Structure 1
């Protein structure tokens, strides 16, 4: 009976050792498995890459609208087909000018014995220089089709004048005829106030012209009725 005691003790020790060995093996496996799962990186869904826009899909920057030049109103030429009549600055004479299609004819007279018929072209800017072929000259500039400002040089004298746009019956008139064998040539300037300034030449001798009827242009010269007509170039 005394010998069985140590054997039992030895057997119990062996069983305890086997149990501990089995327990350690099981625990190690679980620990390793658990450790592996904890250290493994968690899979995350990577954001899908946005597709790069194709060249054809890209928008072309909008081009700014073309800059339009401001519309400018055409500059009106001061050359207006019209008649102009007025006096010299000193009041001694009268001047009338008729403008048509870039040409002009003018008449200067003092109502006594000095007169001149002048002709020439009108420039696009309204300036003009008219001559009579005998040394007299008229230079002037149209001002917006309302007025003509200029001067007449004749027989050594210089006469500045202003002629406003004339409305009928104002303006320039002329009558030519042969009366009692003498050539008659008369010129008349009818001003806005009804005043008439003219010279009538009979046979080369100038004198003050008789009045004309502005409504009809009729004038009586040496007992004969003549008709003075408006003058245009």
Structure 2
């Protein structure tokens, strides 16, 4: 029996080497694939909303204002202290109303009084109040300028000769006075006061009208 020739031996060796090379390449690919780690899936991050900045609301400065309605029929005075306001509407004859309420940080105000009376206004540049007063079914636009003493709002209450007296006065920047004095609820024009002292004489008795603050 003849031994395989050198050619066959060489061919068998080449085939074996080729087989081993192919096997190693295949295993290497599998090992690399098995050891490769996929990056972890990332969850979408919700957008974080920054807090909405609160608008700066500076407190309204204490001040007094006095002026006339646009039709020049009546006067309006407003006094502001620590964010509260009190106002007086007066025609100098029989129509009047005391109103009060809060003043917002932007200078706006809505004051209310008896019998549905309302005052809606806003401070403009710290120098004036522009607004409207609704009273007895009528509406009166007004402008009240910043008041410097002795102009402003005054009131006196007392008992005179057995009658309950209640008086309100608006002293305008030009010195004019508008007021109503009620005796037991009956209204009429108020006597003139002395703004420097608030002194006023009612039915022979001397009273003192004082500046009004909320």
Q: Report the TM-score when normalising by structure 2.
A: 0.73
Asked whether 1:119 is paired with 2:94, we answer no
Query: Following the alignment from structure 2 to structure 1, what is the Cα–Cα distance between the partners of residues 201 and 124?
Result: 37
Asked whether 1:142 is paired with 2:123, we answer yes
Asked whether 1:167 is paired with 2:148, we answer yes
Q: What residue number does 2:113 align with?
A: 132
The range that moved more, 203-212 or 130-139, is: 130-139
Asked whether 1:100 is paired with 2:84, we answer no
Query: Following the alignment from structure 1 to structure 2, what is the Cα–Cα distance between the partners of residues 140 and 111?
Result: 22
1:80 Cα deviation (Å)? Answer: 1.7
User: What runs of 5+ residues in structure 2 fail to find an aligned partner?
Assistant: 1-54
Q: What residue number does 1:42 align with?
A: none
Q: Can you list the C-alpha shifts for 1:44-83, whole angstroms capped at 9, x where unaligned?
A: xxxxxxxxxxxxxxxxxxxxxxxxxxxxxx9684722100
Compare the two structures and name the one with the higher strand fraction.
2
SS, match of residue 193 in structure 1: coil
Asked whether 1:192 is paired with 2:173, we answer yes
Query: Following the alignment from structure 2 to structure 1, what is the Cα–Cα distance between the partners of residues 56 and 127?
Result: 16
- In structure 2, relative to structure 1, the CA distance for the partners of 1:148 and 1:170 (3 Å cut) is same
Alignment of 1:1-233 (within 5 A): 77=58, 79-233=60-214
Contact 1:105 1:119 in 2 (8 A): yes
1:159 Cα deviation (Å)? Answer: 0.2
Q: What residue number does 1:6 align with?
A: none
* Count of aligned pairs: 160
Q: What residue number does 2:30 align with?
A: none
Query: Following the alignment from structure 2 to structure 1, what is the Cα–Cα distance between the partners of residues 84 and 91?
Result: 24
- In structure 2, relative to structure 1, the CA distance for the partners of 1:78 and 1:91 (3 Å cut) is farther
